[in-house]
Amino acid sequence: MTPDLLPALAELIAWAQGWGVASGMVFARIGAFFALLPAFGERVVPARVRLIAALAMTVVVAPAVGDRVPTVPGTPVTAALFLGAETLIGLTLAIGLRLMIMVLQMAGTKAAQATSLAQAFGGAGVDPQPAFSQVLVMAGLAAIVVSGLPENLAALLVLSYDIFPSGAWPDPAALARWGTARVAHAFALAFTLAAPFVIGSGLYNLALGAINRAMPQLMVAFIGAPALTLGGLVLMLISAPLMIGVWLSAFTTMLSDPALMVQP
């Protein structure tokens, strides 16, 4: 081994060690992010698949943010605090997207309850929920995946380092305000998506009451129940594409602007 090669080899080893530490810090954020991420973070997805997906995303994101990841001091306490901050940031970003999936679950539940189909077609699963919710969630997950989810997630993670600097703990008060605002937005969007079913249910009950008042001898419940079931299924068939379109637009807007995920 020539003398000129030793300094180059030492420099290469130092660079590899620095890149490995930076990649590990990036993986701390991405690993927590993929734990709750829609599509990749579903409980039906094996943990090994999620791990491989997180490692692949780390390979993509780490070169773009390597200069923004500071060198972690060697003390165990400081390293633990750094990893804790990165994990919290990753979970915060993932929760912001997970709430959008809960929007579809809540909208489907509201629609099923309004049409008296909450229990009739409910299925057993990891998260038992009405069939309307299952249809909307599966359609929403398929829509975001085919619309370019991996590259959008990579861009989101790179931009997240501008909002959440590496190793900096988020402000607890700001997180509390953010959580309240995101949950309120999720409920508002879910009610907006389920509004046709709520309005239809209200009109159905008004009509049923008027008919019952006009003809007390008629068993309107036996006539109205099949009509309500059929009307709910037809309304879901008509409105589901519109609901998914509105929801996908909101989801895409959140992905393209990470500030919406962290600002109340």
Say whether pTM exceeds 0.85. no
How far apart CA 264 and CA 250 sit, in angstroms, is 16
Q: What is the pLDDT of residues 32-43, one digit of tens each?
A: 999 999 988 888
Q: Give DSSP secondary structure letters for 71-84.
A: PPPS-HHHHHHHHH
How far apart CA 28 and CA 256 sit, in angstroms, is 22
Which phi and psi angles does 123 have, rounded to 5°? -120, 155
- CB-CB contact of 32 with 91 (8 Å): yes
- CB-CB contact of 97 with 157 (8 Å): no
Query: Helix (H, G, I), strand (E, B), or coil: what is residue 129?
Result: strand
Domain ranges of the chain: 5-262
Q: What is the pLDDT of residues 73-119, one digit of tens each?
A: 567 788 788 888 889 999 999 998 999 999 999 999 899 888 877 66
Mean pLDDT of 144-166: 88
| Token pair recorded at residue 225 | 């129940």
- Cα 14 to Cα 8, 62, 83, 126: the distances in Å are 10, 17, 22, 47
Chain centre to alpha carbon of residue 257: 15
Q: How confident is the model at residue 191 (pLDDT cuts 50, 70, 90)?
A: very high
Chain centre to alpha carbon of residue 232: 27
Q: Vertex 98, ends 91 and 251: CA angle to 5°? A: 120
- CB-CB contact of 200 with 231 (8 Å): yes
How far apart CA 157 and CA 34 sit, in angstroms, is 11
The residue ranking higher by pLDDT, 74 or 69, is 69
